[in-house]
Structure 1
Amino acid sequence: MQETKRIALLIDCDNVSHKAIEGVLEELAKHGTVNVRHAHGDWNNPSLSGWAEKLHPHAIRPMQQFAYTKSKNATDSAMIIDAMDLLYSGNVTAFALMTSDCDFTPLVLRILESGFPVYGFGERKTPQPFVDSCSPFIYIENLMSGEGADSETPAPVKKTSKAKLRQDSALVKLLRTAVDQTAGDDGWANMGQVGSYIANNNSSFSSINYGYRKISDLIKATELFKSELRNGTAMYIRDPKS
């Protein structure tokens, strides 16, 4: 039986919206237990008032970092130190970084070298190097809570249409390659193995960024593959062009 991951969630409150925290915690619950929840920022700054309201309801520990100068981001440094302390503590087996700052890319790579996954959450403005380094990375716009101040329910995820999915050449190539590489002699590939291949070869990929909770739902939405159910539970797919 696989051990449940112990996840450390570190939040860069300076550049990521508090409205997505419910969705982020909900997503992380699929991977393990978030036993460390640290929110970094200068809590004297009125701009963090939205985050301040989220701390107690979600058992998030505020980590105070004063802004000593205007030109330097002390929060980033404090968050990196916190991550390294946790890395060497042995109390966690996975990390989640909620930030849109590319400066954390070296940190992600260092954590990955230690054999721990890093789940990334950030806004659409997040630079691609940071997105690509995480495993996986999810845009928080797809996890946002409603606009109401008291809303705790994530807004419905908008699904990308079949036409737009097919127009995404990189996505189509990724899916077809995954099916081709995992297919048996008969040309049929197990859906679970296809998903594993994608995760292993493009760790930052997440179907949620396209509006689909599961990779199987995304693949079905493209209507690029034939599918059949075997033994009542196992889904197999095949590329008609192969």
Structure 2
Amino acid sequence: MASKPSSSRQQKHLAVLIDADNAPAAIVEGLFEEIAKYGIASVKRIYGDWTKPNLGKWKQVLLDHSIQPMQQFAYTSGKNATDSALIIDAMDLLYTRRFDGFCLVSSDSDFTRLAARLREEGLTVYGFGEEKTPKPFVSACDKFIYTEILRAVAPEAPVEPVVNDGKAAAANEPAKPAGKPRPQKVPLDFIAQVLDDIADDDDDWVQLGVLGQNIGKLRPAFDPRLYGFKKLSDLIKGYPKRFELQARGSSASGGKDLYVRSLSTAK
């Protein structure tokens, strides 16, 4: 009888719940590419009042990404019934015990308690929201990804030649597409402090993966892409005066294990 594959080799099943009122449709491509890194999006639902014109951009991409729209009318002015519907569905899905984690896509702090409750059940919570997202919601997630780094740069519209004065020509120029956010300042002191805290007394070297895990526990929103680097190893390499990176032996996957140390504490 064939043995059942270990759970570590199985991909996680994730429920993706999107708050359409607090998430731009421009992130959809990058959103699901990012989610694919963590598991399979077994359920994809998006919540909003689809009778309103402000969700028009989301309507255009729902079929392409097989996202199920969940209609929620606003029963009372000034109250967000969409949040309540999303939370109720999340709890219903939680008790099916079919999922390993949830992806909550919103910049709304109202989902802070939901994220904490899901984690209390031992599930992994991935949050996706804009940089304006309140810190309590960010901290309530296991990992939080700012959606600015997921936005695709829109292609520029073709410009028809215009024979006119400078002012008229300027008026006919297309608006420049919104690109990715300007890289933030790298928290070098924070990274060095984490290295110092987890390094052995007799050895300054720390496995890069362990460093990344500990940084994520302390700052769920930490992401090398926010600072202009694709991976944590690239960020470390970018500051040779602060950190040293070393490849050792070979890992289980056949590659080499990467170790890092802070040069400020190196013996």
TM-score range with shorter-chain normalisation?
0.7 to 0.9
2:206 equivalent among 174, 189, 195: 189
Q: Do structure 1's residue 66 and structure 2's residue 73 form an aligned pair?
A: yes
Structure 1 unaligned spans of 5+: 166-170
- Superimposed CA distance per residue, residues 166-191 of structure 1 (whole angstroms, 9 cap, x where no aligned partner): xxxxx223311222233342312221
- Superimposed CA distance per residue, residues 185-211 of structure 1 (whole angstroms, 9 cap, x where no aligned partner): 231222122112222333343333334
Residue 221 (structure 1) shift: 2.6
Structure 1 residues 96 and 60, CA gap change in structure 2 (3 angstroms) = same
Other-structure match for 2:258: 235
Paired amino acid for 1:61: Q
Other-structure match for 2:115: 108
Structure 1 residues 33 and 129, CA gap change in structure 2 (3 angstroms) = same
Distance in 2, matches of 1:14 and 1:65, equals 11
- Superimposed CA distance per residue, residues 125-160 of structure 1 (whole angstroms, 9 cap, x where no aligned partner): 21111112112111111100222499xxxx975673
| Greater Cα offset, 127-136 or 110-119 | 127-136
Secondary structure of the 1:145 match is coil
Distance in 2, matches of 1:157 and 1:221, equals 20
Paired amino acid for 1:33: I
- Superimposed CA distance per residue, residues 18-56 of structure 1 (whole angstroms, 9 cap, x where no aligned partner): 100111111111110001000000111111010001111
Distance in 1, matches of 2:57 and 2:22, equals 12
Distance in 2, matches of 1:158 and 1:43, equals 30
Structure 2 unaligned spans of 5+: 1-5, 158-177, 251-255
Distance in 2, matches of 1:31 and 1:61, equals 21
Secondary structure of the 1:89 match is coil
Residue 220 (structure 1) shift: 2.5
Overall identity of the aligned pairs, in %: 43
| Greater Cα offset, 224-233 or 57-66 | 224-233
Other-structure match for 1:168: none
Distance in 2, matches of 1:157 and 1:231, equals 37
Distance in 2, matches of 1:226 and 1:85, equals 48
| Greater Cα offset, 185-194 or 114-123 | 185-194
Other-structure match for 1:202: 219
The alignment covers a number of residue pairs equal to 231
Residue 93 (structure 1) shift: 1.1
Q: Is the Cα–Cα contact under 8 Å of residues 118 and 135 in structure 1 kept in the other structure?
A: yes
Distance in 1, matches of 2:227 and 2:111, equals 24
- 1:140-151 alignment to 2 at 5 Å? 140-148=147-155
Q: Do structure 1's residue 54 and structure 2's residue 74 form an aligned pair?
A: no
Relative contact order higher in (CA < 8 Å, ≥ 6 apart):
1
- Relative to its length, the structure with more helix (as a share) is 1
